[in-house]
Amino acid sequence: MFQVIGIVLLFGLVFGSYLMAGGNMAPIIHSAPHELMAILGAAVAAFLIGNSMTVVKATLAGFGKVFAGSKWKPADYRDLLSLLFLLTKTMKSKGVIALESHIENPHDSTIFSRFPKINKDHFAVDFICDTLRMMTMNLEDPHQVEDAMEKQLEKHHHEAMAPANAIQNMADALPALGIVAAVLGVIKTMGAITEPPEVLGEMIGGALVGTFLGVFIAYGLVGPMATRLKEIIEDDSAFYKIIQSVLVAHLHGNAAQISVEIGRGSVPSTAQPSFLELEEALSAIPNEA
């Protein structure tokens, strides 16, 4: 919602101030179509040249995230802590044998199926199950497990950040591509140097529209979108860090309640449940779970 408001303000204030200063929109409107074709066309072509198909697809989805916001909401953090509570409590009270059926077939697990949104996130499920599987294979050194989890998180974060970096690279290139379009306009103007001043002035003005559009789109639209997407990716990555916090705390010998409380401390402030809210969520889990 705020992104839409920002875009409306961007166009309204920039072009509104231009009109209030006595500017004429006719040269911009006349030149914009072919200038945008050169600038955006070159930007898209460079984007396709510089990125794999995987990144291209992820970037298209990333533009949607800019407006949709973070994937994980406050209720999802409560669900994650509840899921980790059930898993660590089962492992603590019934042993690793009782946990094997849940981590080998998580989509059929009675524990995971209680939290469908988390169960649909392949990385979250695999991250939890792979770590618990290491524990069942007697890898119980908290430092080794934490190091292995950290490497998985770094790899996932690096891959998740690729679309935002691709958009930022596009933003960085747009001002230069605007200059390219402007230079082409100047070349066209120099080829008509014998025309009267009013014609040359219109042609030079059209050429400068290219520079304006390149800078305007880069710093007003594409750059902020890249920044927003990076922020969303950082927010989403905090969700997976909680998994690490809880499972490492469990390996240190803490009770399930203490482990999830340690994980609660890692939840971003805007989504962090209070101690009582988490207590109520855990109390609401049926005993048979």
Burial letters 177-197, b for 16+ CB under 10 A, else e: bbebbbeebeeebeeeeeeee
Q: Which band of pLDDT confidence, cut at 50, 70 and 90, is reported for residue 79? A: very high
CA distance 102 to 249: 20
Instruction: Please report the pLDDT score of residue 31 as a whole number.
Output: 86
User: 244: which 2 tokens?
Assistant: 């690490």
pTM, full prediction = 0.85
Q: Is the pLDDT of residue 76 over 70?
A: yes
Give me the residue label for tokens 């916001």: 69
Q: pLDDT at position 125, please?
A: 93
Q: Is 21 exposed, middle or buried (0-12, 13-18, 19+ CB in 10 A)?
A: exposed
What tokens were used for 198? 């009013």
How many degrees, rounded to 5, is the angle at CA 169 between CA 156 and CA 239? 25
Q: Say how far apart CA 277 and CA 262 lie, in whole Å.
A: 15
pLDDT at 170 over 80: yes
Cα four-point dihedral sign 105, 111, 114, 120: negative
- Which residues does 207 contact at the CB level (< 8 Å), separation at least 6? 31, 181, 182, 183, 184, 185, 186, 188, 189
For residues 273 and 126, give the distance between their C-alpha atoms in angstroms, rounded to a whole number: 25
pLDDT of 139 over the 80 cut: no
Local confidence band at 287 (pLDDT 50, 70, 90 cut-offs): low
Structure tokens of 245?
Answer: 């916090």
Count of Cβ atoms closer than 10 Å to residue 38 Cβ: 19
Residues in the chain: 289
